[in-house]
Structure 1
Amino acid sequence: MHLTVWNVPETCSEQDVRSFFERELGHYAKGVTVYDVGTPNAHADLELDSEVPYVADAVARELQTRRLAGVALRVSATPFDDEPQPQRG
């Protein structure tokens, strides 16, 4: 499961962002990839270590309440990791 985090402050280094999310997510943090560090478009992709449905949505809601370097985060969950849905019929 993946989350995309927007509003990453330009002042944060890639290591700052990684450390923050690893601390906040604990054992759920499988991977943190940071893009466009030091720019207004800086954002992160968080890979969660969970197979339980809706965990990403719950984690996204929790991270929305957090601030990184004083900046409120914007978080979106990728629903079901874009897995194909079973065919009905």
Structure 2
Amino acid sequence: MHLTVWNVPETCSEQDVRSFFERELGKYAKGITVYDAGTSNAHADLELDSEVPYVADAVARELQSRRLAGVALRVSATPFEDEEPPQRR
């Protein structure tokens, strides 16, 4: 499961961003990739170590209320990738 985090402050280094998310996500942090660190387009892809579909949504909601270097983060969960749509009856 992946989350995309936007609005990462350009004042933060790649290591600052990684450390922040490792601290916030704890055991759920499987992988953290930071793109365009130090620019106005800085963002991160967070891979979560969970197979439960709703964990990404819950983590996204929780991170949405967090601030990194005083800037409110914008977080979105990737839609369920491997799930079949529910059958209509």
TM-score (norm 1): 0.92
Cα deviation, residue 68, structure 1:
0.2
Give the match for residue 85 of structure 1: 84
Q: Aligned equivalents of 2:40 and 2:2: distance in 1?
A: 22
Task: Name the CA shift for 1:10/1:51 in 2 (closer, same or farther; >3 Å).
Answer: same
Separation in structure 2 between the aligned mates of residue 32 and residue 26 of structure 1, nearest angstrom: 12
Q: Could you tell me how far 1:85 is from its partner in structure 2?
A: 2.2
Residue 71 of structure 1 corresponds to: 71
Structure 1 residue 87: Cα displacement = 9.0
1:15 match: 15
- Number of residue pairs the alignment of both structures matches: 88
Residue in 2 that maps onto 1:49? 49
Correspondence for 2:38: 38
Deviation at 1:86, TM superposition (A): 6.2
What are structure 1's unaligned runs of at least 5 residues?
Answer: none
Runs of 4+ in structure 1 off by over 4 angstroms are none
Q: Which amino acid letter does the alignment assign opposite residue 14 of structure 2?
A: E
Q: Deviations over 1:2-53 (max 9, x none)?
A: 0000000000000000000000000000000000111111000000000011
Identity of aligned residues (%): 87
Q: Secondary structure at the match of 2:26?
A: helix
- TM-score, length-scaled by structure 2: 0.92
